[in-house]
């Protein structure tokens, strides 16, 4: 089994005449959470229909496809996974038949005991069509004998460990479920009286729905013929909301875990400037788009000019085939172009949200220096990424993480060929996010402190014993 580490977005709506079209729009706003496949399942009170394909939301769906997705309820999913498992079989929503009829499920997150559960289910004769841990959740729901779907889901929640924000659809019900730690976001809104759930509130904004609240950690929210119900069968042992959602993954216009992401990112930049100033800086430039709010905050705090020294092309797909060898660094050149007049003869501070392997940063430093910058200083609006995520953010193994490989800031600056490198401190990050010590958040990628034990490790980039 390989490649179950997914970054994803989910959406759901119940009791609206334009469910499929609204699902399509809702997924559009979540496209940043996954670009490899997209799918929508709808239900009309009788049955569940499903359409999913590899590709972007706009390419997967068209008017003819949406017409076939009849019904007044819909759930949808966008998925990104690493190369090997990029197959339609792993695309979501996943659908099957269970004792109660058709059921479809879409999942954001990663289970930490997926291999154990899968082996148990296989031993009991379950058949799997995919290598995705989302199918395990679907099978667990289907396999439990309980009087109601809510009871089945509650039973599944006692077995599944790790991160899951889910939407589930049956012929007449839509459910939204969040793991008791609340790793991944999931919000509830309303459109023309119909309940809407989405990974991020930007999705609600696009369709014109109003934001109501988060689906709570450990909550099962159900919308069905009998109205709406909510239960919390599992109390939260420890809240572990993913701080990397706020640093990088979510869109700045979203409210995530009750906070406006743009505000937090700007404040990360301000805090970074307090901790890691470059007093002789001439200009602060972001690595667009993800570094932009932090760069604005950094520049404001130091009272230095902010400028767009790098322009991002928004038309670079993940499937672009890089010409071998002939043009070095082609990948980053396709995505980012330098603006020489901003850079020439200047002391430049480049602000990005994170460094993972360091390959992008190194190419950016090169690019900025080759356009005449006198000094190039990298400033990162998160702490050094030293540990892989097992809860749904795609990170490589420790040996590929530059901050885990190299001991000191000087060594990292050396490898990046930057004049200096500075990161936000863990304390500074928590001060911005929660005004304190990080209670209620997962910061394992920075600290190695994993809130849920990782029982079954698997790396999307290498084998099971790659010494993560």
Nearer to ligand AMP, 194 or 287 (CB): 287
8 is catalytic: yes
Nearer to ligand AMP, 214 or 394 (CB): 394
Nearer to ligand AMP, 206 or 356 (CB): 356
| 358 touches ligand AMP (CB under 6 A) | yes
| Interacting residues with ligand AMP between 72 and 131 (CB under 6 A) | none
Nearer to ligand AMP, 16 or 251 (CB): 251
- DSSP readout, 275-342? HS--TT-SEEEE-TTTTHHHHHHHHHHHT--B---EEE-S---TTPPPPSSSSTTHHHHHHEEE-HHH
| 359 touches ligand AMP (CB under 6 A) | yes
Nearer to ligand AMP, 35 or 113 (CB): 35
* The one segment of 192-200, 323-331, 387-395, 403-411 that binds ligand AMP by CB under 6 A: 387-395
Element (H, E) at 374: none
Selected binder of ligand AMP within 165, 199, 360, 381 (CB under 6 A): 360
| 393 touches ligand AMP (CB under 6 A) | yes
| 26 touches ligand AMP (CB under 6 A) | no
Nearer to ligand AMP, 139 or 292 (CB): 292
Q: Which of 83, 82, 55, 71 is nearest to 23 (CA)?
A: 71
Selected binder of ligand AMP within 245, 267, 366, 394 (CB under 6 A): 394
Site string for ligand AMP, 241-270 (x = CB under 6 A): -------x----------------------
Selected binder of ligand AMP within 203, 361, 397, 459 (CB under 6 A): 361
According to DSSP, residue 162 is labeled B
Residues in the chain: 468
| 272 touches ligand AMP (CB under 6 A) | no
**How far apart are the two ends of the chain, measured CA to CA in Å?**
18
Of 8, 242, 389, 445, which is the active-site residue? Answer: 8
Answer yes or no: are the C-beta atoms of 130 and 179 closer than 8 Å. no
Nearer to ligand AMP, 149 or 351 (CB): 351
* The one segment of 226-234, 337-345, 390-398, 453-461 that binds ligand AMP by CB under 6 A: 390-398
Q: How far is the CB of 334 from ligand AMP (least distance, A)?
A: 14
Selected binder of ligand AMP within 222, 343, 348, 355 (CB under 6 A): 355
Answer yes or no: are the C-beta atoms of 37 and 16 closer than 8 Å. no
- d(C-alpha 364, C-alpha 10), whole Å: 33
Selected binder of ligand AMP within 239, 356, 406, 409 (CB under 6 A): 356
Site string for ligand AMP, 190-229 (x = CB under 6 A): ----------------------------------------
Sheet of strand 194-198, all strands in order from the earlier edge strand to the far edge:
48-54, 37-43, 73-80, 7-14, 194-198, 187-191, 210-214
* The one segment of 219-227, 353-361, 365-373, 422-430 that binds ligand AMP by CB under 6 A: 353-361
Q: How far is the CB of 154 from ligand AMP (least distance, A)?
A: 31
Provide the H-helix boundaries in 14-69. Answer: 19-28, 57-60, 63-68
| Three-state SS at 433 | helix
For residue 94, what are the β-bridge partners? 105
Q: How far is the CB of 274 from ligand AMP (least distance, A)?
A: 22
Nearer to ligand AMP, 23 or 286 (CB): 286
* The one segment of 83-91, 134-142, 347-355, 370-378 that binds ligand AMP by CB under 6 A: 347-355
* 123 contact partners, CB below 8 Å, separation of at least 6: none
- d(C-alpha 187, C-alpha 97), whole Å: 28
Q: Which of 169, 183, 81, 172 is nearest to 133 (CA)?
A: 81
How many angstroms separate the most distant Cα atoms in the chain? 72
Q: How far is the CB of 290 from ligand AMP (least distance, A)?
A: 4
Q: How far is the CB of 302 from ligand AMP (least distance, A)?
A: 21
Q: How far is the CB of 432 from ligand AMP (least distance, A)?
A: 18
* 314 contact partners, CB below 8 Å, separation of at least 6: none
User: How many CB atoms are located within 10 Å of the residue 181 CB?
Assistant: 26
* The one segment of 137-145, 154-162, 349-357, 447-455 that binds ligand AMP by CB under 6 A: 349-357
Nearer to ligand AMP, 265 or 304 (CB): 265
For residue 447, the Cα-to-chain-centroid distance in whole angstroms is: 19
Buried b (16+ CB within 10 A) or exposed e, 347-384: bbbbbbbbbbebbbbbbbbbbbbebebebbbbbbbbbb
Give contact residues for ligand AMP (rule: CB under 6 A). 248, 287, 290, 352-361, 393-395
Catalytic residues: 8
């Amino acid at each position: 089994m390989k490649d179950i580490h997914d970054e994803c977005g989910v959406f759901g709506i119940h009791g609206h005449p334009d469910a499929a079209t609204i699902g399509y729009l809702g997924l559009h706003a979540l496209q940043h959470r996954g670009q490899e496949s997209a799918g929508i399942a709808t239900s009309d009170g009788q049955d569940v229909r499903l359409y999913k394909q590899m590709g972007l939301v706009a390419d997967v769906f068209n008017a003819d496809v949406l017409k076939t997705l009849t019904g007044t309820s819909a759930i949808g999913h966008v998925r990104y996974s690493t190369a090997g498992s990029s197959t339609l079989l792993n695309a979501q929503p996943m659908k099957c038949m269970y004792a109660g009829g058709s059921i479809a499920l879409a999942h954001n997150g990663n289970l930490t005991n997926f291999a154990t559960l899968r082996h148990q289910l296989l031993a009991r004769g379950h058949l799997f069509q995919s290598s995705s841990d989302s199918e395990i959740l679907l099978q667990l729901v289907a396999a439990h004998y309980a009087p109601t779907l809510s009871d089945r889901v509650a039973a599944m929640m006692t077995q599944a460990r790790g991160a899951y924000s889910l939407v589930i659809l049956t012929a007449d019900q839509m459910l939204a479920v969040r793991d008791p730690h609340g790793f991944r976001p999931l919000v509830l809104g309303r459109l023309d009286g119909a309940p809407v759930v989405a990974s991020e509130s930007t999705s609600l904004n696009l369709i014109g729905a109003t934001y109501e609240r988060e689906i709570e950690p450990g909550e099962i929210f159900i919308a069905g013929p009998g109205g709406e119900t909510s239960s919390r069968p599992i109390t939260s042992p420890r809240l572990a909301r993913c701080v990397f959602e706020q640093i990088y993954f979510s869109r700045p216009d979203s409210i995530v875990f009750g906070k406006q992401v743009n505000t937090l990112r700007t404040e990360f930049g301000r805090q970074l400037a307090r901790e890691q100033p470059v007093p002789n800086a001439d200009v602060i430039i972001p690595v667009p788009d993800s570094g932009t709010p932090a760069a604005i905050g950094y520049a404001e705090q130091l009272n230095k000019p902010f400028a767009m020294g790098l322009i991002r092309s928004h038309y670079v797909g993940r499937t672009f085939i890089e010409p071998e060898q002939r043009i070095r660094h082609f990948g980053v050149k396709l995505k980012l172009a330098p603006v020489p007049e901003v850079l020439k003869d200047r002391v430049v501070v480049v602000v990005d949200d994170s460094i993972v392997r360091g390959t992008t940063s190194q190419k950016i430093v090169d690019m900025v220096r080759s356009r005449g910058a006198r000094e190039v200083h990298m400033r990162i609006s998160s702490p050094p990424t030293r540990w892989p995520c097992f809860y749904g953010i795609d990170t490589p193994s420790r040996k590929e993480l530059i901050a885990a490989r190299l001991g000191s800031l000087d060594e990292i600056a050396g490898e990046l060929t930057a004049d200096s490198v500075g990161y936000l401190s863990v304390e500074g990050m928590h001060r911005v996010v929660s005004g304190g010590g990080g209670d209620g958040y997962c910061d394992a990628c920075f600290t190695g402190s994993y809130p849920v034990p990782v029982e079954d490790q698997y790396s999307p980039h290498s084998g099971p014993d790659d010494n993560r």
